[in-house]
Chain A
Amino acid sequence: KQWYQRRVAITAGGIVTGFRRGQRNQTVNNSLVKIEGVTTKADTEFYHGKRIAYIYRAQKSRKNRITKRETKLRVIWGKVRRSHGSSGVVRAAFKKNLPPKAIGATVRVMLYPSRV
């Protein structure tokens, strides 16, 4: 493939580090996401409001409503709500709460809605 035909990466990567929690209780509605390259609270400001996609594989294939293709990949969409702490971690809320197996899994942080 030519260089101009290769797939473009227009997402930032992130890892789900867990749910928002105190020592003994956790709020499953909110997940914590560590976005690659973001190490300070000031850096997270760019990502506020950005959409996040948790993509996972399933056994059965489904027809994707938009691309109309059969696929085994499924998405849970969410968004970055606010920063969490001072080291660049971010709080996210997903349309459906993330399953526990998502902890440690990669997540794609989109660049939209864009404010640049």
Chain B
Amino acid sequence: CKQQHDQAVVSTQSGHYGRDPTEDVKRPLTNRRKVKPTKLRSSIKPGTVLILLAGAHRGKRVIFLKQLPSGLLLVTGPYKINGVPLRRVDQAYVIATSTVVEIPAIANDKLTDAMFKRKAKPTKNEREMFIENTSEEPKISAERIALQKEVDAVVVPAVKKVEMLPSYLRSKFTLTKGQFPHQLKF
């Protein structure tokens, strides 16, 4: 097994087979794990219309932009159309429809996980020291708003080209009487 091999490698590296009695140093095993993002479902491609299944925007149809290095999917409403901003979403909480919109590739350095990560709340000590600062921060940073405008400037025209797509994105996914999800073709 791999662990035995690693330990054997370590012991041969020191020039001695087996444990050297004079050296009681424990060497850590080499970690060969490579972190990869979650495998993207084959039904999800850039420009695919996704249905959000949970969260504040449940039922809304959004456009998939790309998969971030963390494995989460980056989606946008677009914001003007259905109020969903640039947002990270987990693959498991999304249904991919067969509708794909042709979007030109968005190459933007700012579209990374760090951009969307929640800011850590100030700890109790910090809060006591800087009481004046807490009221200053606006809910959504100007950076995010600018980024949203940039991305949507590319996505919205592509959406408007397709007939009825803007109103499709504005509508929500529901199950009506007699509709069963296992019978639907998304």
Contacts and interface: CB of A to CB of B under 8 A. Distances in A.
Bind each other: yes
Interface of A: 4, 6, 8-12, 36-38, 43-47, 110-116
B17 interface: no
A44 B181 CA distance: 11
| B interface secondary structure, majority | loop
B130 interface: no
B181 A12 contact: yes
B160 interface: no
Interface of B: 41, 43, 53-54, 58-59, 91-96, 170-176, 180-183, 186
Given A37-B180, A111-B95, A114-B92, A8 B59 contact: yes
Contacts of A37: 180, 182-183
Given A10-B53, A112-B54, A114-B92, 19 more contacts: A4-B171, A6-B174, A8-B58, A8-B59, A8-B173, A8-B174, A9-B176, A10-B58, A10-B174, A12-B180, A12-B181, A37-B183, A43-B182, A46-B182, A110-B54, A113-B92, A113-B93, A115-B41, A116-B96
Looking at chain A's contact residues, the main secondary structure is loop
